Amino acid sequence: MNSSALFYFLFTLLLSVIFGGIIRYYYNPKRKQKIEEPKHRMLDDEQ
Amino acid sequence: MGITSKPVVFAVLSAAVILIGSTVTVFIPLFMPSTQPVSAYVKPYTSVELEGRDIYMREGCNNCHTQTVRPLRTEVLRYGEYSKPEEFAYDRPFLWGSRRTGPDLNRIGGKYPDSWHYRHMQSPQSMFEKSNMPPYGWLAKNRLDTSNSYKKTSILGYGFSEQDVQVQISQYRSKVTADTYLSKETRDLVTPAELHHELTEMDAIIAYLQKLGRDVKNLETKK
Amino acid sequence: MSETGTEQYNFKIVRSFAFSALFWLVIGLIVGLWIAFEMFNPALNLAPWLSFGRLRVVHTNGLGLGFGLAGIFATSYYILQRLTRTALPFPRLAQAHLYLFNTTIALAALSLMAGMNTTKEYAELEWPIDIAVVVFWVMFAINVFATLIKRREKQMYISLWYIIAMTIAIAILYIVNNLEIPVTLFKSYTVYAGANDANVEWWYGHNIVGFIFTVPILAMFYYFLPKSTGLPIFSHRLSIISFWALNFAYLWTGAHHLMLSPLPEWIQTVAIAFSIFLIAPSWGSVINGYYTLQGNWEQLRTNYLVKFFIFGITFYGLQTLQGPLQGLRTLNAFFHFTDWVVGHVHMGTMGWVTMIISASFYYMIPRITGNQLYSIKLANTHFWLILVGQLIWTITMWIAGIQQGAMWKATNPDGSLMYSFLDTLTSLYPYYRLRFAAGVIYFAGILIFVWNLIMTVRQAPQKDEAEQPIQNKELQSWG
Ligand code: HEM
Ligand code: HEM
């Protein structure tokens, strides 16, 4: 592996880890209720 | 809950996220000489050519014509040597285009004599019945406005003195109005009589077309 | 206004922007038909200002900046006030925004016809008009952020994120790409040269499409689909992931417009990679849309608005698959510069963008005028005409693009080119004629749309015009 291929690989790895981290954070069942709340509230903004 | 309840933080974070890709792929390359290399073999446009280029932009020729030959076999066969980055060092803006309704023009310089262009610009359909290129006869009826020519070249940093610009303009005028000019007959045909001895927008745009791709030969022999 | 406690939503501005959008839509489409005709018959190049080179940019700017932005402003002012349960803080500023906007677009169209054209795609306007654009953008942004800061709903719903991202991104893109040095009032030169100019321009060009024709349209989709069906969006957290991934990845991909050009190869390669990644967040929104209707698909028949949303998001889904594919080097070598790309563009604009804006207007206009929609039957006719028109339009162009690419490439056994440039062009004229006819069908649908909305507001109002008081219940803080 030459240095630029290594660089691309590490960069991709880094982005994947961040991406995975964000998904894990938001898909944690503990937070589900709170995170999903606004989608119900927006439905009754008319009254 | 987190950033979705903090609009200002949210906005700052969005800006940061947006700026990462922009910085890596656009802002940093701006400061890397390798993105737009320069070569002594590629010369800036003369002020007449530059005026022609501005008319090319004004008429939106770039909406039908590209100016970049890709390194593909059939494309090189059709148009000539593929485009090199050095060729565009003086192009502000670039005119590569995104749509090829008409042929690529990056190698048009020297392909035809001036007389061909005078006739073609006046009426593409008279040469190719089915062409959809608009006729541009009015360009020959407009006197070329050179009042900003020096200002333009100095903004672009072409390094011409005011006198250089005057000389370029009067030299080109002498060339196309001389009796010895090889395309004189066609030029006189498309140009109204009162402008026979002056520079027109048509003269300038043709000067520009004839410059396109001229330097690449020198560039190639050097390589 | 706010002291008495009878704060009013400002919907007058929504209505004005909505009708501005319709006006620019009709103008932009007439110009579109005009240039579509010129492409198979140059006889319509009647005068310099009607020549193809000058008019094509009137079409793209009139629809992107005129119709697109006005539609975005109309829906953003509506969504913002609703989702924050807050009246617009600076209604007079919004009114000034409206006037400046319409003046600017009118001047833009005139100046482009006069040949004042910087030639940078979607940034063709000369510097004085650029300044006007920046000014009205700032006016808009002030109201956006002031509303958000004053808001009475703690959490911001998805649509608001997209509006924030658009407000910021367009400001950055527009200013950076339009840095130019004036020569006269009507002429300037960009500060970037050659390959750098190309790189800046397509970073801008791709993302202006992204942040006008994708991001704010998603804001509309995420708001009006649930509102008009009464169904909550399928997954809020999926939309969070999609949102950040989309905003992050979009900005890396501009160079897929410069494939095989003299731009350094690594920038092109990075752009290809991120283009492929973009399928994920794009389809995040598509899936979110489809699953919202889970178990309620009969609404596709019973609720006339749902058709617009579901077909719209489907075209978005197709668009975001086609885009990354045509960005691949080998496919792009074939399709670049051809009519195929024109087909891609119009599936997005005539399918996705107009479908969603149409449905959003159908939802908003009756609510803010207190009238019933003039005719649901006409709305259905509108839908079918723009659907059929768009499909014929785009499919024709894809076929034309394949033929064009193949003929450019075709060689004889001895290695010489098989077709002259003109052979290829003239073989495409039948497609261009069909495209024109399809455009007429689509345009008829749009005229019905405009008529329907005009008749809706012209009926005697059932409630007192526009302003509705904000209800204070459920405003307790929580979360
Ligand atoms: C009646 C419907 C329409 C017709 C007949 C039409 C016609 C055209 C034509 C002839 C072109 C030039 C294609 C070329 O150079 O080969 C074009 C380009 C374009 N149109 Fe339309 N158009 C229509 C609807 C729309 C709509 C609704 C939008 C946007 C909301 C739009 C946005 C654009 C854009 C952005 C381009 C530039 C594409 C590129 O550079 O690749 N058009 N249109
Ligand atoms: C994942 C999403 C997308 C990707 C990766 C993508 C990719 C591309 C690529 C590679 C091109 C250039 C083709 C060429 O010139 O060879 C292109 C052109 C274009 N796309 Fe997309 N596309 C996407 C979504 C969209 C959407 C949703 C729209 C909305 C209308 C859109 C509108 C356009 C326009 C207007 C152009 C023409 C630009 C020009 O040459 O003037 N794209 N796209």
CA C204 – CA A43 distance, rounded (Å): 35
Classify the phi-psi angles of C120: left when phi > 0, otherwise alpha if psi is within -120 to 50, otherwise beta: beta
Residue C318: CA atoms inside 13 Å, Cβ hemisphere, count? 17
Nearest to C120 among B66, B93, B152 (CB): B93
Residue ranges of the alpha helices (H) in C251-352? Answer: 265-277, 279-292, 299-302, 304-327, 329-335, 339-346
Q: What is the mean pLDDT of residues C188-216?
A: 97
Q: What is the mean pLDDT of residues C201-215?
A: 97
Nearest to C199 among B4, B10, B26 (CB): B26
Question: Of ligand 2's atoms, which has the minimum distance to the CA of residue C324?
Answer: 5
User: Residue C438's CB: how many other CB atoms inside 10 A?
Assistant: 23
pLDDT band at C478 (very low <50, low <70, confident <90, very high): very low
Is there a domain that residue C467 lies in? Answer: no
pLDDT of residue C7: 65
- Residue C68 above 50 pLDDT? yes
Question: Of ligand 1's atoms, which has the minimum distance to the CA of residue C442?
Answer: 1
Ranking A31-45, B22-36, C182-196 by mean pLDDT, the lowest is: A31-45
- Chain C neighbours, 3+ Cβ pairs < 8 A: A, B
| One-letter amino acid of B38 | V
Question: Of ligand 2's atoms, which has the minimum distance to the CA of residue C256?
Answer: 10
Is there a domain that residue C75 lies in? Answer: yes
pLDDT of residue C2: 37
pLDDT of residue C352: 98
Residue ranges of the alpha helices (H) in B92-178? Answer: 114-122, 124-127, 149-155, 162-177
What are the φ/ψ torsions at residue B94 (nearest 5 degrees)? Answer: -70, 155
CA C355 – CA C364 distance, rounded (Å): 14
pLDDT of residue C462: 57
Residues of A in contact with B4 (CB under 8 A): 38
- In sign, the C-alpha dihedral spanning B10, B13, B15, B17 is negative
C244 contacts B17? CB cut-off 8 A? yes
Number of structural domains, chain C? 1
- Chain A neighbours, 3+ Cβ pairs < 8 A: B, C
pLDDT of residue C123: 97
The position carrying tokens 């390798």 is B34
- In sign, the C-alpha dihedral spanning C316, C318, C324, C327 is negative
Say if ligand 2 is within 6 A of residue C349 CB: yes
Three-state DSSP state, C461: coil
Interface TM-score (ipTM) > 0.85: yes
Is there a domain that residue C393 lies in? Answer: yes
- Across C118-237, where does the E strand assignment appear? 180-184, 187-190
Nearest to B132 among C151, C172, C425 (CB): C425
The residue ranges of every structural domain in chain A are 17-47
Q: Distance from CA of residue C464 to its chain's centroid? A: 33
Residue C33: CA atoms inside 13 Å, Cβ hemisphere, count? 14
CA B209 – CA B199 distance, rounded (Å): 16
Residue pLDDT, tens place only, C365-407: 999 998 999 999 999 999 999 999 999 999 999 999 999 999 9
Which residue lies with its CA nearest to atom 1 of ligand 1?
A: C439
Nearest-5° Cα angle at C191, B159 to C270? 125
Q: What is the pLDDT along chain B (223 residues), one digit of tens a residue?
A: 578 899 999 999 999 999 999 999 999 999 999 999 999 999 999 999 999 999 999 999 999 999 999 999 999 999 999 999 999 999 999 999 999 999 999 999 999 999 999 999 999 999 999 999 999 999 999 999 999 999 999 999 999 999 999 999 999 999 999 999 999 999 999 999 999 999 999 999 999 999 999 988 888 777 6
Per the structure block, which two tokens stand in for B115?
A: 């007389």
For the domain covering B38-222, report its CATH number.
Answer: 1.10.760.10
Minimum distance, in Å, between the CA of residue A39 and any CA atom of chain C: 6
Which residue lies with its CA nearest to atom 27 of ligand 1?
A: C350
CA C349 – CA C208 distance, rounded (Å): 13
CA C366 – CA C358 distance, rounded (Å): 13
Say if ligand 1 is within 6 A of residue C407 CB: no
Q: What CATH number does the domain containing C417 carry?
A: 1.20.210.10
The position carrying tokens 């050009």 is C261
Tell me the residue range of the domain where C191 lies. 10-460
| One-letter amino acid of C178 | N
Residue pLDDT, tens place only, C133-176: 999 999 999 999 999 999 999 999 999 999 999 999 999 999 99
The residue ranges of every structural domain in chain B are 3-34, 38-222
